[in-house]
C-alpha cells in the first residue's frame, strides 16, 4: 500500500471528500467512476505505448 505523508494526507482527505460530494455521498458510485477513469487512462497509455513502439521501430532502431 502507498504511504502518504501527514502533509499529503490532508490533501488526500480533501480530494476524497470532493469526490464523494460529486457523487452525493454515494461511495460505491464514486469508486465505480474512479475505476472507470483508471481503466480509460490505462487504455490511453497502452495506445500511446504501441504508437511509440511503432515509431521507434520505423526509425530502424532495435
pLDDT digits (tens, 9 = 90+) for 3-27: 655 566 688 889 989 999 999 999 9
How far apart, in whole angstroms, are the C-alpha atoms of residue 60 and residue 54?
Answer: 10
Q: Which three cell numbers stand for residue 55?
A: 515509431
How far apart, in whole angstroms, are the C-alpha atoms of residue 53 and residue 57?
Answer: 6
How long, in residues, is the chain?
Answer: 62
Q: For the whole model, what pTM was predicted?
A: 0.66
pLDDT surpassing 60 at residue 2? no
Confidence of residue 60 (pLDDT cuts 50, 70, 90): confident
Contact 19, 34 (CB under 8 A): yes
Amino acid at each position: 500500500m502507498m504511504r502518504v505523508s501527514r502533509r499529503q494526507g490532508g490533501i488526500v482527505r480533501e480530494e476524497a471528500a470532493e469526490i464523494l460530494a460529486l457523487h452525493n455521498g454515494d461511495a460505491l458510485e464514486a469508486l465505480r467512476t474512479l475505476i472507470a477513469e483508471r481503466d480509460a487512462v490505462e487504455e490511453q497509455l497502452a495506445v500511446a505505448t504501441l504508437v511509440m513502439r511503432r515509431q521507434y521501430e520505423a526509425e530502424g532502431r532495435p
